[in-house]
Amino acid sequence: MPSTYLRQAGLVRLLLLGLLLGLVSGCSTLGYYQQAISGQLQLLAKRRPLAEVLADPAVAVAVKDKIRLAQAITSFAADELGLPVDDSYTSYVDVGTPYLVWNVFAAPEFDLTLLTYCYPIAGCVSYKGYFDATQALAFEQSLGAKGYDTFAGGVAAYSTLGWFADPLLSTFISREDTQLAALLFHELAHKVVYVRDDTRFNESFATAVEHIALRRWLQARQQGDVYAAYLVTAQRRSEVLALIAEARDELQRLYASDLGEDAKRRQKVLVIAGLQERYGLLASHWEGAKPFNAWMQGDINNARLGAVADYNGWTASFERWLDELQGDLPSFFAAVQQLAAMPPVQRDKILRSYAP
């Protein structure tokens, strides 16, 4: 316990250093760090030990059942998968809102490259997060006014990479059992390895671990029907991601062409409409789960496409790599940690070699 508080105090000091640096770079940066520090500290202050929550008669039975399930999931993660659970998810917070933070993504109108934002701890990432939805919306609108493609989405959880003892949150504890397990496995994977300034590497790795961990979790619980449904959904996700990758390639070629901006703008609309049409044809043959259905019905732009790429860009490569190691997670984790220490160009080259 003392080491936990020392680590947390160290993070707060680093955040305060970032706040002081914000004084040099302008009031907008200062305000941003203030809300980030305030939001994280408020979250810490609201934590309640799980034993206390489970003993509280005022807490709903459904919440307690989900907490017990989360305890079983994290035990499995530590004992069977070798994930570094430590003191994560040993407390609970009722956030009081549907989401914990709101992330804003942005990209130029004719470029799929997401804007990046840099932080004292996490390095540079391809989104900007806010604890307040109103502030996130205002920031998104300011970027839109400058001509950027934008996308803002609520986030139910994030990993503090071991700096804090991340709590279970009301924003995700009520999720369906399989989704809850997937989220916890994903966030714990971030504690295995994290590369500064490389969102795609970090999120793709965590997504790959999420997939294999969830598969083993369902198999261990002998939930054959749930596992079968998971495989169907996973296959459909892969098919949709392939369609999105094709559309991104089309747009990449379009943006690099010599066409004028008006022509590019018209062709961009056609490419996105084509993506939605192809998805509609694909999904028309499916019964039950339709991954990305709501996403496809939204306002698809470079920012949305970039967000999907960051969370899935290298996932297939990581999964194939793990298959070649015959599912040996300790060896896989060690190999990925070595990869993380390499220069970005070398990392990408190796991951590209594992691409299906």
Are 71 and 50 within 8 A, CB to CB?
Answer: yes
Q: Find the angle CA(181)-CA(89)-CA(91) to the nearest 5 degrees.
A: 135
pTM across the whole model: 0.81
* Sign of the CA dihedral running 319, 320, 322, 323: positive
pLDDT per residue over 126-161, tens digit each? Answer: 889 898 999 999 999 999 999 999 999 998 888 888
The average pLDDT across 317-344 equals: 96
Of 16-25, 169-178, 235-244, 328-337, which range is least confident? 16-25
Give the integer Cα–Cα distance in Å for 217 and 185. 10
Specify the pLDDT at position 67.
Answer: 97
